[in-house]
Amino acid sequence: METEKQKKRVQIYVIATGGTIAGTAESSADTAYCAGQLGLDALLATVPEVKQLADIRGEQLCSIGSQDMDETIWLQLARRVNTLLADDNCDGILITHGTDTMEETAYFLNLTVHSDKPVILVGAMRSSSAISADGPANLYNGIVALADPESRGRGVMCCMNTKLIDAKDVVKRHTTDLATFEGDGCLGYVYGNRAFYNRRVTFMHTLYSEFDVSTIDRLPRVGIVYGYAGCSAIPFDAFVREGYDGIIIAGVGDGNIHRNIFPSAVKAASDGIIVVRSSRCCTGPTCLNGEVDDNRYHFVASQNLNPQKARVLLMLALTKTHDWQQIQQFFMEY
Ligand code: SIN
């Protein structure tokens, strides 16, 4: 019989990208700080306790504030994660990331990583040198969750403020609050040295995703246009002029489009540009054929995706097809 000592230790790989979790300030009471300052080793040194949970290796992919995240890094990250997870010596991956665009990176990986091994993103709302910094606890909890066999097959998750939230649902709701990350109900939470799950994700992700970026160097161009009272068609028309492949409208309410933009949207869709209706509302779906007759205008409804995640799915969808009905189907399934 195998003794506790002989049991293989869990192998976790950490990919660091920067963010507030790696940020430093002049003094612990400063609210002004600079993101992405600590390197991977210094970051891990803030939680030596993780060594009791798993063997940890890692690398620094970049050191940026996540406002500067882009498609080139996403493609690099997805390929690296797929390579690492294909190795028997890697049981799961922790990605340290700025919180500003964490939800987009998480969703991109959810659609492009093909493994049931867990991938978890963590960040922090307070810099590493702040009083009561939240980074170390998030890092520790992320590794607890990765080391827990119950975490397999749940898609990419974010672990923030003890919550485990799936990549499709997770959203940063508050600019500065510690409890900023929410979803339509969390998948679970971390308490002590265990992950507790309440539900499973029913949408397609990871192993069941048909999006493959292993040979792609560049993603199709998709822009977002924001809706507001009296809004102008200038940004929408500029994207069209620049030859963008798709445009997401962050419309009002149930993805409604202002009359100043509507004619440009109809023309773009009839010219083969994919126009997706989403909503600037924080929560709720943008429903197909609600107040807008999507079938008539060949618009796509983003369903449960907010504008920034609708953009991620549309970029990937456009690597496979330019057919609006097929793309609508992707928005139903992913
Ligand atoms: C960033 O997203 O890199 C800065 C903000 C944060 O990490 O909370």
Q: What is the CATH number of the domain that holds 310?
A: 3.40.50.40
Q: Decide the pairing of beta strands 222-226 and 246-251.
A: parallel
- The pTM for the full model equals 0.96
Mean pLDDT of 169-195: 94
What is the band of 2 on the pLDDT scale with cuts at 50, 70, 90?
low
First to last CA, the chain: 44
The C-alpha atoms of residue 105 and residue 143 are separated, in whole angstroms, by 19
For residues 11 and 119, membership in a common domain is answered with: yes
* Full residue range of the structural domain in which residue 58 is found: 4-208
The C-alpha atoms of residue 47 and residue 42 are separated, in whole angstroms, by 10
For residues 34 and 147, membership in a common domain is answered with: yes
* CB of 306 shorter than 6 A to ligand 1: no
Nearest 10 degrees: Cα torsion 107, 105, 312, 259: 100
**Residue to mutate, 20, 105, 127, ligand 1, most ligand atoms under 8 Å from C-beta:** 20
Last residue of a domain, one of 208, 232, 248: 208
CB 33 within 8 A of CB 130: yes
Q: Dig out the tokens for 140 from the structure.
A: 């520790």
Average pLDDT, the chain: 96
* CB of 123 shorter than 6 A to ligand 1: yes
* CB of 20 shorter than 6 A to ligand 1: yes
* CB of 100 shorter than 6 A to ligand 1: yes
Percent of the chain with pLDDT over 70: 98
DSSP 252: B
Spatial neighbors of 172 by CB under 8 A, at least 6 apart, are 99, 100, 102, 103, 180, 181
Q: What is the pLDDT of residues 81-130, one digit of tens each?
A: 999 999 999 999 999 999 999 999 999 999 999 999 999 999 999 999 99
Q: Dig out the tokens for 307 from the structure.
A: 């504008």
For residues 164 and 241, membership in a common domain is answered with: no
For residues 129 and 185, membership in a common domain is answered with: yes
What is the band of 184 on the pLDDT scale with cuts at 50, 70, 90?
confident
The C-alpha atoms of residue 103 and residue 221 are separated, in whole angstroms, by 19
Q: What is the pLDDT of residues 122-155, one digit of tens each?
A: 999 999 999 999 999 999 999 999 999 999 999 9
Predicted pLDDT of residue 122: 98
- 133 C-alpha to center of ligand 1: Å? 13
101 CA: nearest ligand 1 atom:
2
What is the band of 1 on the pLDDT scale with cuts at 50, 70, 90?
low
Mean pLDDT of 4-14: 83
DSSP 9: P
* CB of 98 shorter than 6 A to ligand 1: yes
- Angle, to 10 degrees, between the axis of helix 324-333 and the axis of helix 307-317? 120
The C-alpha atoms of residue 318 and residue 183 are separated, in whole angstroms, by 26
For residues 229 and 173, membership in a common domain is answered with: no
Q: What is the CATH number of the domain that holds 35?
A: 3.40.50.1170
3-state secondary structure of 67: helix
Q: Is the pLDDT of residue 227 over 60?
A: yes
Predicted pLDDT of residue 30: 86
Q: What is the pLDDT of residues 245-297, one digit of tens each?
A: 999 999 999 999 999 999 999 999 999 999 999 999 999 999 999 999 999 99
Predicted pLDDT of residue 69: 98
Tell me the catalytic residues: 20
